[in-house]
Amino acid sequence: MSLLPDAETFRRLADGSLRGVGPALLRTLLAGLAAPYGLATTARNAAYDRGLLASFPAPVPVVSIGNLTLGGTGKTPLVAWVVRHLLARGRHPAVVSRGYAAADGLSDEAAELAILLPGTLHVANRDRVAGAAVAADRGADVVVLDDGFQHRRLRRNLDVVAIDATDPFGCDHLFPRGLLRESVAGLRRADAVVLTRASSISADRRRDLRTAVERARGGPLRAWVECDHHPVGLRTANGCSEPIATLAGRRIAAFCGIGNPAAFRATLIDAGCDVVGFRGFADHHAYNAHDLADLAAWARNAGAEHAVTTLKDLVKIRKPVLGDLPLAAVEIAIEPLGDASSLLGLITGLVAPGEVAP
């Protein structure tokens, strides 16, 4: 087994469902590596808490959207949901992210959000303090910090943490033994939690998770919102869009390079697709010509009528076909299962010093 498995295999390794002597030994090795990683993250957070490491304010309010785990929590649809709420309130938000480089220097996140939020300013900068300043200079009156929970150098007015109901605490282990970026004690910094894919678990389990989160946080949250992810349509590389019902009953070959490939597969099955083949790649996978040729042959051999991926993958492939099969991406949006006013009120009330709340 490779020490660098794909995302789906790594999850099976981390959650213990990948059995055998080899996986067991590898888990032991990874647990040893997780110990110094945990000490480093704890020391770093303590340094910020005590002022030994400096954080810097932005010229405008900042709302951070982040998570405790490595990828796959549905953070990008949440960013889009928050930005749309701000736009509806007459604000001028900008998204600021670190950015993982994709084709032509455009980050995966920027390319995907450009489709979901046309016209919204997106600043990708490893120095997110500088990125926030650039956003303000270009007319933004609020910054939405994408993947910002562990980026403590930029101060924020509101910390929103996305937690995936299907794996809330990253297989209960720190990376690389599990998927936790930091200890669950980091939730002490969270103002609000959005429980994503909430309908995947029972109401009793959701209540138990809220209790566990507030116990880890050391007190109640300012907001708790449960939401679901649902497909709202298909997008093609040439700009066409179709209803998701187009896929109902069709034989689908699906692939993706995201943090939680199993969740994408479940979305397709819930949409009524006949998934005859599924392949997962590492998160942020950069597709080359060999990958695409191999995928085309695989999909054809599986008897697929249509090839489907995620927006995050399509923006890197930028082709309307995979071999001789039509290729489309599924656009995912979040929808609160209940009242989201507690969180929306916090977002609406974001103000810079000297401003009056809208």
Domain-by-domain residue ranges, the chain? 7-49, 62-229+336-348, 231-334
User: For domain 62-229+336-348, is the CATH number 3.90.550.10?
Assistant: no
- For 89, phi and psi rounded to 5 degrees? -90, 10
* Among candidate residues 179, 194, 253, 195, the one with its CA nearest the CA of residue 8: 179
- Kindly give the confidence (pLDDT) of every residue in the chain, 358 residues in length, as a single tens digit, with 9 standing for 90 and above: 334 466 778 888 888 888 999 999 999 999 999 999 999 999 999 999 999 999 999 999 999 999 999 877 888 999 999 999 999 999 999 999 986 544 455 566 678 888 889 899 999 898 999 999 999 999 999 999 999 999 999 999 999 999 999 999 999 999 999 999 999 999 999 999 999 999 999 999 999 999 999 999 999 999 999 999 888 899 999 888 889 888 888 899 999 988 888 888 988 888 888 999 999 888 888 899 999 999 999 999 999 999 999 999 999 999 999 999 999 999 989 999 999 999 999 999 886 545 545 5
Rg of the chain over Cα atoms, rounded to whole angstroms, equals 20
Per the CB < 8 A criterion, the answer to whether 231 and 331 are in contact is: yes
Task: Write out the two tokens for 196.
Answer: 């994503």
Instruction: Return the CATH fold of 231-334.
Output: Rossmann fold (3.40.50)
Per the CB < 8 A criterion, the answer to whether 233 and 202 are in contact is: no
pTM (2 decimals)?
Answer: 0.89
CA 323 – CA 299 distance, rounded (Å): 9
Coil/strand/helix, residue 246: helix
Per the CB < 8 A criterion, the answer to whether 141 and 60 are in contact is: yes
CA 241 – CA 344 distance, rounded (Å): 29
Coil/strand/helix, residue 20: coil
* Among candidate residues 173, 181, 180, 182, the one with its CA nearest the CA of residue 26: 173
CA 74 – CA 140 distance, rounded (Å): 25
Task: Write out the two tokens for 154.
Answer: 């930029």
What angle, rounded to 10 degrees, do the helices at 21-49 and 7-15 form?
90
Coil/strand/helix, residue 28: helix
* Among candidate residues 43, 302, 307, 64, the one with its CA nearest the CA of residue 183: 43
CA 234 – CA 249 distance, rounded (Å): 15
User: Do 62-229+336-348 and 231-334 show the same overall fold?
Assistant: yes
